[in-house]
Amino acid sequence: MNPVYLVAARRTPVAPVNGAFKTLGVSDLAVPVIQAVLAQSGLSPQQIDQVILGNALFGGGNPARLIALAAGLPESVPGLTIDTQCCSGLDSLRLGAQAIASGQAEVVLAGGVESTSRRALRAHRPINKDDSPDFYERPAFTPWPDRDPDMADSAARLAHEFGISLDQQNGWAIDSHAKALVAQDRLTNECLPLSGLSVDAATRRLSERLANRTPKVAQWQTSAVNVAGTALQADAAALCLLVSERMLAKLPAGTRAMRWVTDISGGGPADSPPWAIVPVVQRLFERNGLRADHFHRIELMEAYAVQALVNANQLGLPLDKLNQGGGALARGHPIGASGAILAVRAYHEMALAPKGSLALAAIAAAGGLASAIVLEA
């Protein structure tokens, strides 16, 4: 297999739904990031072989193609949109890496975009002509109604199963915001200013008192999940540029390149999405002879504080390497873009890492899916 390298990575700030990006569609979010990534790498639009974007809420069509054309890429460049819900952005990178590794491409733009604020209204067509459409917020994620809980409900059940209190969840959320505040300069460097935002809008000085006052969003027997421990719905785009070794040799001297080491996609119990990261990352470790303490930086999705707590504890992830720029609890969760944001974060967090250091990014999705990648500085 041909070696693959990640050589440029940028993103927009993350804005809570109906916030600073409430008027922006997917093209408005993603096009400036594509242009910034190309400028960072020194490559031209004519050198791109493929665009792959994750998206969950656009509502149909192929937004990757629309975005590629709007960004000025040649009409000969194909655009592929994938939807694996929260895993979409990371899975897009995985597909791009596989295309280069197999020799089918040399330069791939991959990532994710989500305009939750401008998402399509979704409805089932009425059976009878006089009936009204049946609007819905989310599709089914499993074929079994009794095993298709809302994400918040499954998080609350996980809290009950592992005895994770609200105080523990609040503590994780407070720490996520605190790390993001300390890392503002690093976060600003990876973000492309847009619509008056230069860094993630949701980050704040979250106190224990404020966290305790936030309402509960789900409860399972004696355990609960609250707003402080839940990542906000949000808008954002994140793009990475993947290249072959031959193309890397043509890039300007000093280009920061991270080698694509390995990746994985897998599943866990369909009705426990927050748990899925554990068995999938364990398989990744086993297949590649890796351990949690091998990593210089770890970007773990924080859809819920309880999910991050259980994942980190079960995998033995070292906390001093984990989400050092804060996590999704401190920025928000733009579904199709969140996985790609983890990759952008890993790329920039590894800027000063010793050569040979490893980074891990992992995310879980509705339906009990999970994806992870490993990069080497």
Catalytic residues: 86, 333
* Ordered DSSP codes for 147-178: G---HHHHHHHHHHHHT--HHHHHHHHHHHHH
Tokens of 60: 């149909």
HSE (CB half, 13 Å, CA atoms) of 362?
33
How many angstroms separate the CA atoms of 87 and 17, rounded?
Answer: 19
Strands 107-115 and 50-54: parallel
What are the DSSP calls for 234-253, one per residue? EEEEEEEEEEEHHHHTTSPT
Q: In the chain, how long is the greatest CA-to-CA distance?
A: 67
- How far from chain centre, in Å, is Cα 145? 27
d(CA 292, CA 174): 24
